[in-house]
Amino acid sequence: MKKLSISMKRRLVQFLSALAINLNLPGFINGNIYTGQLKGICVPVLNCYSCPGALGACPIGALQSSFAARGGKVAYYVLGSMLLFALTLGRFFCGWLCPFGALQGLLHKIPVKKAKIPNSVDRPMRYLKYVMLFVMVIALPLLVRNGVDMSQPFFCKWICPAGTLEGGVPLAIANGAVRSALGGQFILKLSIALLIVTACVLIYRAFCKYLCPLGAFYALFAKLSLYRFKVDAHACIGCGKCAAVCKMGVDPVKTPNSAECIRCGDCIGACPVNAIGRETPFCSRKNTKKENVE
Amino acid sequence: MRKETGFRLLRTALLTAAAALTVFGLMNGEFQKVLQKAAAICLECIGIG
């Protein structure tokens, strides 16, 4: 039996994760969303809770709705959950479990000429996702309030492509009432989603790199997460293959636990001397078997 | 070595805080609030509201 490469393993896990998180499949046909008790559980990935299949709650959506509610409350349960996710597996969720991340990976496989973004543009743009987190997700819902002391989920309402593509489009197709209520706001959101989709075709994981507030939150704690990568400095021969294969623009030798690393493991597969390994407080595992990158 | 110890201490403190926040939130009935919001179609999220 042919051994699966690390990329193939990851694609399989991504597919299973997307399925598990969106297992309410009848919702896509009925045009309804799941309303059971599981919906109170925050999932560790960006997955709109208005997706007909979604079984859990999007933490970014839940956080904003709490800030936007009357009184502008902090959702300690949501914040605590997000912190637990960040400090345990962190951006591993981005690289292996996020359905929208998986979609971006697939979009990038479309065979068109890819955009080459110079470092002088790419590096500053990486900070945009922190603006999304601190301004659109946190500050605006807390500060911009109407006459009855309520606000709106700014990131969800104006930017989030997951809401449009996972929630809006499937519901518009299957639910007549939703379809009849569509207007300018939907066209605007759809246009933004299509722009992001186009960017993802041209640039690997453009949304993850530049816009995702959940990725930004996990990135803040990247150096502290329990699941980490470690480079054996004695074994490393400085060939640069790990940096060359990294599609997130990380040099694992210089910054093995970079805020931009989504723990995809491609660098582990590319290293010819198995110098890069995975590390948790419980064990330190070098790549003793060759996990090839496709 | 000192840096690693510092990271470990900080991580432990943050993990404890995260667990405490989660438990506090659950005891405050926030699970039901999240459930209430997530179990209804978010009109803003899908581009209607």
Say what the alpha-carbon torsion angle A272, A274, A278, A284 is, to the nearest 10 degrees: 180
Residues of B in contact with A163 (CB under 8 A): 42, 45-47
Chain B positions with Cβ closer than 8 Å to A: 7-8, 10-11, 14-15, 17-26, 28, 30-35, 37-49
- Give pLDDT tens digits for A139-176: 999 999 999 999 999 999 999 999 999 999 999 999 99
Q: Is A141 part of the contact surface with chain B (CB cutoff 8 Å)?
A: no
C-alpha distance from A204 to closest chain B C-alpha (Å): 25
User: What are the structure tokens assigned to B48, written together?
Assistant: 């209607």
C-alpha distance from B31 to closest chain A C-alpha (Å): 5
8 A C-beta contact, residue A277 and residue A232: yes
Residues of B in contact with A183 (CB under 8 A): 48
Domains of chain A: 6-219 (no CATH), 228-287 (3.30.70.20)
C-alpha distance from A186 to closest chain B C-alpha (Å): 4
- Give pLDDT tens digits for A74-124: 999 999 999 999 999 999 999 999 999 999 999 999 999 999 999 999 999
What's the mean per-residue pLDDT of chain A? 94
- A80 with B48: Cβ contact below 8 A: no
Question: What are the residues whose beta carbons fall under 8 Å from the beta carbon of B33, sequence distance 6 or more?
Answer: A66, A75
Residue A287, pLDDT above cutoff 70: no
